[in-house]
Amino acid sequence: MLARRHGINQQAVDTWRKRCTAADMRTWPKHPQSIVLTFEQGLIIVAFRRRTLPPLDDCLYALQATIPHLIRSSLRCCLEWHRISRLTVVKGSKPSRKGFDRYPIRYFHVDLAKVRTPEDKLYLFVAIDRTSKFALMELVKRADTRAAARFPHAVIAAIPYCAHTVFTDNSIQFADLP
């Protein structure tokens, strides 16, 4: 009778009767999971976005070398699930971040990020030329000085032009220890 009165499907009425509240409930999954991206690829996307803060299209362009089947819609959905899809910050909510320094093309910045998976902890090396938007990533199990020393050489070998300078952060992996 309710289905006929409101012009809806009988299965919808049966579903609503089983609920303990009349409030509108969400229709998407509680723990969304991409059918295109693996869990590790999602972690790479999130770590890359948090470290480099590029716009969506630049993020897509940089990540397609590492994740070839990545498309704009799956990237946007992944960033929305992790609540980092928008780069704009409401005034007064947080202190604004200082922008990145401007460098000419061929200046690379190398950074290191921890990526936690359910099984273990991985490390993501990221190198980006902010002018040309060329980026390279490598996921490793151990972030020791040997892996940190290999990565800039891999960056120089992979880029289609000659690198001028490779900047690193101040972490112990990049330290010149005796």
User: pLDDT tens per residue, the chain (178 residues)?
Assistant: 888 988 889 998 888 888 888 777 776 666 666 778 888 888 889 888 888 888 888 889 888 888 889 999 999 988 988 888 877 643 444 555 666 667 777 788 888 888 887 888 888 888 888 777 788 888 888 888 888 888 888 888 888 877 777 777 666 666 665 5
DSSP assignments along 42-77, one per residue: HHHHHHHHHHH---HHHHHHHHTTTSTT--HHHHHH
27 found inside a domain? no
Taking a C-beta distance cutoff of 8 angstroms, is the pair 41, 47 a contact? no
Instruction: Kindly state whether residue 125 falls inside one of the protein's structural domains.
Output: yes
Can you give the pTM of this predicted structure? 0.53
Cα 151 from Cα 171, distance rounded (Å): 14
CA pair distance 172, 144, nearest whole angstrom: 8
In a domain, 59, yes or no: yes
Indicate the pairing of strand 165-168 with strand 121-129: unpaired
In a domain, 2, yes or no: no
pLDDT at 82: 83
| CA 135-117-141 angle, 5° bins | 60
Is 1 within the bounds of a domain? no
Instruction: Indicate whether 16 belongs to any domain.
Output: no
pLDDT score at 158 = 84
Indicate which CATH number applies to the domain containing 78: 3.30.420
In a domain, 22, yes or no: no
> CA 104: distance to chain centroid?
25
pLDDT at 147: 85
Alpha helices in 19-162 (DSSP H): 39-52, 56-63, 72-81, 145-158
* pLDDT for 164: 76
168 contacts 107 by C-beta, under 8 angstroms? no
Helix axes 39-52, 56-63, angle to 10 degrees: 130
Q: Which helix (DSSP H) or strand (DSSP E) does residue 26 occupy?
A: none
Q: Which structural domain, as residue segments, surrounds residue 62?
A: 39-85+104-174
Q: Does residue 9 form part of some domain?
A: no
- In the chain, the number of structural domains is 1
> Residue 138's closest CA among 48, 42, 34?
48
